[in-house]
Chain A
Amino acid sequence: MSKHFLSVEGLKREFPAKDGPTVVFDNVNFGIEKGEFVCIIGHSGCGKSTILNVLAGLDQPTDGCVIMDGKEVSGPSLDRGVVFQNYSLLPWLTALQNVSFGVGARWPSWNKERVREHSARFLDMVGLGKAQDKKPAALSGGMRQRVSIARAFATSPKLLLLDEPFGALDALTRGVIQDELIKIWDETHQTVFMITHDVDEATLLSDRILLMTNGPNAKVAESVAINIERPRNRANIIEHPAYYKIRNHLVNFLVNRSGELRDASGEQGRYPVSVDPSADHESEAEPTGREEPAPVLKRQLT
């Protein structure tokens, strides 16, 4: 089959509806390498979250399969950690207990002290060492999401799935947590698959961005390489010569081509087209309208 660490093969998901089943996405193929940070962007309703749920093992595909590390994904597993948009912390446990909940489940043979130490270390990493005994209700949205991220990283899953983790946060908090996420990722080199609506966020965080066409019948059309060297941070990434090329390419796709490509479906091959907007030579997959930059003011698509 494939030599990717994670490979998604011919994934299809239908939902029953009155007039025949609705195909959310079809023929979705992509691979993720070990240690890679991959974001997926697409308009609402293209089935990003469904793909993530299938990867997590929480949802079953109608057709196709997901293979991770040589094994087919058939149900939820500790090998794949999930951070949900709404944090999903257990409100009767403190921040530390929430992280320990994951750590204890991951390593049942560890004694209490070891679980505690390990959990506390990851809470420190997201800057919540002082708030470890607080219940989620006493934490702000940003802090709750940090606890959730700490819980996911602390179990060192083979693949970490982030479902729009910053979607419910205000822009300032989001920036701070993005920086923290980069910091942890630099330390752990965790393999990450993340859903986002935010082009800048995706560019800042990922090695590669998968672009989805509009649903129904969505597919993964392009795989955009982000050739910006690490470590990155929010302040200097915009100075990078490749940044606006990448950004324009992404925005152009979302504004213009995500709809067109869906209507022209079937013409493309099985795998998404690889694109590197930072490369100066004219690649074949490069969008035609390169002289007219995409609207830069539209910062976030929802």
Chain B
Amino acid sequence: MLPLQVRSALLSLVILVLALGVWEALNQPPEASEGLSEFELLMGGADQEARVPPPSDVLSHAWAELSNPFYDAGPNDKGIGIQLAYSLYRVLTGFFAAALVAIPLGFLVGMSPLMYRALNPFIQVLRPISPLAWMPLALFVIKDSEQSAIFVIFICSIWPMLINTAFGVAGVRRDWVRVAQTHELGALKTAYKVILPAAAPTIVTGMRISIGIAWLVIVAAEMLVGGTGIGYYVWNEWNNLDLNSVIFSILMIGIVGMVLDLILGRVERLVQYQE
């Protein structure tokens, strides 16, 4: 019997091949019922019916795109690398700005029952708002579509980090705080040397949730603001009726999202401790 890892990998492969096979088989160009006219031959075949491109087309297109990801042939034609870089820039800027606000604020809320009670109603009302609902207001106030997109990322990243930080900080074992007290650590040193490492796993889990949400939201935000980015790219290729590119970019969105999650998962493991 093969080890579980090998067996699961084999099964994954079988599922992939089956899915691609079915997809490929269902999306063949229709057989021409009669011979092509001279005009049709001239114009490039009888492929007039709109249909989802088969995976073979998508893959060869993906290969072409990925072998030259950073070309820039004007606003309507940029390489996938450039589009993804724009999206990542927005996501990371908004995300880290949110971390800068959410983590200290989370400490405050977690350490002070007064602040928790005072801020909780605001958090509860603001949290369920779809980040895209802020877009018109952001566009009006900021007057810049680029920064409005970053703001939307900021606002959607802030809540999981804020809530998890507050939760983690409030849940730090009393004994550990007492250890800090009996060693005469000041408030700042206690926060930095005891509470931060104690709450770090919960905080990083919040960051992981946040970056996942941010990556979901950036696609929608860029469809709205346009110009650059992977979200804009998907929508633009839809307008160009280039379904090869649409499917390819969907795939890329998934892969980049997975990589972001993997990175934060790694960080999570770094700060994890066993009691």
Within 8 Å CB of A105, what residues of B? Answer: 183-185
Please, how many angstroms separate the alpha-carbon atoms of A200 and B139 in the complex?
76
Tell which of B106-114, B160-168, B174-182, B235-243 binds the partner: B174-182
Q: Is the CB of B273 within 8 A of A135?
A: yes
Q: Is the CB of B273 within 8 A of A101?
A: no
Taking the nearest CB of chain A, how far is it from the CB of B1, in angstroms?
Answer: 33
**Residue A77 lies at the interface, judged by CB distance under 8 Å to chain B:** yes
Please, how many angstroms separate the alpha-carbon atoms of A106 and B185 in the complex?
10
Contacts A92-B200, A101-B183 aside, 16 further interface pairs with beta carbons under 8 A come to A56-B182, A57-B181, A58-B181, A76-B182, A77-B182, A78-B184, A84-B175, A84-B178, A90-B176, A90-B198, A91-B274, A92-B198, A92-B273, A135-B273, A137-B274, A137-B275
Please, how many angstroms separate the alpha-carbon atoms of A57 and B182 in the complex?
8
Taking the nearest CB of chain A, how far is it from the CB of B174, in angstroms?
Answer: 9
Contacting B at CB under 8 A, from A68-107, are: 76-78, 80-82, 84, 86, 88, 90-92, 101-102, 105-106
Q: How many residues of A contact B (CB 8 A)?
A: 22
Q: Is the CB of A88 within 8 A of B175?
A: yes
**Residue B69 lies at the interface, judged by CB distance under 8 Å to chain A:** no
Q: Is the CB of B178 within 8 A of A88?
A: yes
Nearest-CB residue, chain B, relative to A103:
B183
Sort A-B residue pairs by CB-CB distance and give the 10 closest, nearest first.
A137-B274, A92-B273, A105-B183, A76-B181, A88-B175, A91-B273, A76-B182, A92-B197, A82-B182, A78-B184
Contacting A at CB under 8 A, from B219-262, are: none
Please, how many angstroms separate the alpha-carbon atoms of A220 and B4 in the complex?
65
The contact size tier of chain B is 10 to 19
**Residue B97 lies at the interface, judged by CB distance under 8 Å to chain A:** no
Please, how many angstroms separate the alpha-carbon atoms of A78 and B181 in the complex?
9
Please, how many angstroms separate the alpha-carbon atoms of A88 and B179 in the complex?
7
Taking the nearest CB of chain A, how far is it from the CB of B186, in angstroms?
Answer: 10
**Residue B58 lies at the interface, judged by CB distance under 8 Å to chain A:** no
Interface code B259-275, partner A: CB below 8 Å = 1, 0 otherwise? Answer: 00000000000010111
Please, how many angstroms separate the alpha-carbon atoms of A72 and B214 in the complex?
55
Nearest-CB residue, chain A, relative to B179:
A88
**Residue B194 lies at the interface, judged by CB distance under 8 Å to chain A:** yes
Please, how many angstroms separate the alpha-carbon atoms of A102 and B194 in the complex?
12
Which residue, of A77, A80, A88, has the highest number of chain B Cβ atoms within 10 A? A88
Taking the nearest CB of chain A, how far is it from the CB of B187, in angstroms?
Answer: 13
Within 8 Å CB of A58, what residues of B? Answer: 178, 181-182
Which of A76, A88, A101 meets B184, CB within 8 Å? A76
Which of A92, A102, A135, A137 meets B183, CB within 8 Å? A102
Please, how many angstroms separate the alpha-carbon atoms of A155 and B182 in the complex?
11
Please, how many angstroms separate the alpha-carbon atoms of A95 and B193 in the complex?
16
